[in-house]
Amino acid sequence: MIELKNLHVPAAEGPEGVTAAAAWALGIPRNEIKSLVILRRSIDARRKNAVIFVFSVAVEIDDEAKFLKKKRGRFTRYTPVKPYRFPYSFLSPETRPVVVGMGPAGLFAALCLAEAGAPPVIIERGQPVEQRVMDVERFWETGRLDTASNVQFGEGGAGTFSDGKLTSGISDLRTTYVLKRFMEFGAPESISYLAKPHIGTDRLRTMLISMRQHLTDLGCDIRFGARLTDIEIENGCVKALVIDGEDGTYTFPAEHIVLAPGNSARDTFEMLEIRGVKLSPKNFSVGVRIEHLQSAIDGANYGEAATLGTLPASDYKLAVHPEDGHSVYTFCVCPGGQVVAAASEEGHLVTNGMSYYARDGENCNGGLLVSVSPEDFGHGALDGIAFQRRLEEAAFKHGGGDFRAPAQLVGDFLAKTPSTGPGSVLPTYKPGVTFCNLWDVLPDFVCRALAEAIPEMDRKIRGFAHPDAVLTAVETRSSCPVRIERTEGQSVSVKGLYPAGEGAGYAGGIMSAAVDGIRAAEALCAHL
């Protein structure tokens, strides 16, 4: 196949125009292209009156060797990148490994271990995704929270009720492997080539069921409603786990544990600290969700091309660095999505965002976050969690004490006056919002940083500071406030414990957590 990079297709033609563009670039009639594989697709919207799709493709034509010779080096053959392969196989350990947590990190660790011949016992405090969806939907309708089965806890982990964005800042061969495995379990093929791939919460949920079936077929022992509550340690090595299961508490002998509990497992971090596992505080971020009309964001990004109907719902990525040292940035933007209630503790309110694959909702929402460090919340390992809890408690109280979220219009927030109701942007958060003054809810330095950043961001995305845009508080769980210190994949203080994923402090997002889970499985297999 012949590789073509940087092919431009005008937005008006839509992505289907790629074959014509490839034929034009090669100087051959369209019908001479036998097949075409998209390697990458992005959108260049820097010139609003000339928005284009930018493609890299591999094209199959007759007699490629002759064609390439005739074109004298103007084109090159496509050489696929060597795929990642898990480097261990045929293991048969004396004691079964255990994976704690069925988020992306735990799932990929379990997958690699099972396929290498060491199917683990998998401990998940939450419920299978079918039950979990019902528990979460009931919470959103009624405000009745299940502290074991919610947006943070259950099969699939924290990203199950998400936009399923798979972008990550890491450069690692394992990312292509993760995409390939996701596609095998039902993710859309577009994730293999889109510059900003996403799965959507609907497709994620069905993928998880296929993944569970595969793990079960490989011999994994999956235990839902099973919470790790303690670790027995002898001579600095793990000896057993104490598990609070559906039939009571039991002790389970275990020497090799991938610990992937996500960033909301506060009780687990408390237990680890008591057991002498070395933890450190780390920087994280807090803030709000901001909601605009999707049409306004598309207009700001695409200009007139927004009305063509050929371009996907758009997002943004903005950052401002106010003088007081607290960076403000947008995070986890969900085009056509909704703001979700993401609490996992009674009396503590948390927001986040999700979208369906179609991204066809009325609004676009994004996290609008202020970075915080131990200077803001204290230097103890668990001080960040205490800080999160204070903000979540304040949000719960100001929302009315029933998981309605405190909210304010951007215009009122900038004027420091309470809001009394929505304008043109209708908030999507369920079970509902209570309009108020967020300056009474969030710490002053957070409000000041947000108030400075919003007008700055409006210079990049026109309408970002629209007075009717809605701010919903509080977003505290975008990353982990704790790190479980590790060396060569193992806890520095307890042998046999392999901390992984976002909760261990080594990942942020679905993709990097999945990659870190694979790394944990590699480290564990090296010791086996």
Ligand X SMILES: Cc1cc2nc3c(=O)[nH]c(=O)nc-3n(C[C@H](O)[C@H](O)[C@H](O)COP(=O)(O)OP(=O)(O)OC[C@H]3O[C@@H](n4cnc5c(N)ncnc54)[C@H](O)[C@@H]3O)c2cc1C
| 175 or 419: CB nearest ligand X | 175
Name the minimum Å distance from CB 297 to ligand X.
17
| 102 or 441: CB nearest ligand X | 102
Name the minimum Å distance from CB 105 to ligand X.
3
Name the minimum Å distance from CB 180 to ligand X.
17
| 26 or 151: CB nearest ligand X | 151
Residues 517, 521: Cα–Cα separation, whole Å = 6
| 97 or 262: CB nearest ligand X | 262
Sequence-distant (6+) residues with CB within 8 A of 133 are: 205
Residues 252, 267: Cα–Cα separation, whole Å = 19
Peptide bond into 431 cis (omega under 30): yes
Question: Could you tell me the CA-to-CA distances from 477 to 122, 388, 392, 488 in Å, in that order?
Answer: 24, 8, 10, 27
Residues 210, 184: Cα–Cα separation, whole Å = 9
| 175 or 352: CB nearest ligand X | 352
Name the minimum Å distance from CB 272 to ligand X.
10
DSSP characters for 260-306? ---TT-HHHHHHHHHTT--EEE--EEEEEEEEEEHHHHHHHHHGGGG
DSSP characters for 335-357? TT-EEEE---STT---EEEE--T
Residues 286, 75: Cα–Cα separation, whole Å = 49
**Residues binding ligand X (CB under 6 A):** 100-106, 123-126, 151, 153-154, 157-159, 161-165, 227-228, 260-262, 265, 268, 332, 340, 342, 352, 354, 501-503, 507-511, 513
Name the minimum Å distance from CB 480 to ligand X.
8
Residues 128, 235: Cα–Cα separation, whole Å = 36
Name the minimum Å distance from CB 206 to ligand X.
17
Place of tokens 């043109």: 424
CB-side neighbour CA atoms (13 Å) of 189: 3
Name the minimum Å distance from CB 150 to ligand X.
9
| 201 or 301: CB nearest ligand X | 201
Quick one: CA torsion of 433, 436, 439, 442, rounded to 10 degrees? -30
| 224 or 439: CB nearest ligand X | 224
Name the minimum Å distance from CB 121 to ligand X.
11
Residues 509, 165: Cα–Cα separation, whole Å = 8
| 163 or 255: CB nearest ligand X | 163
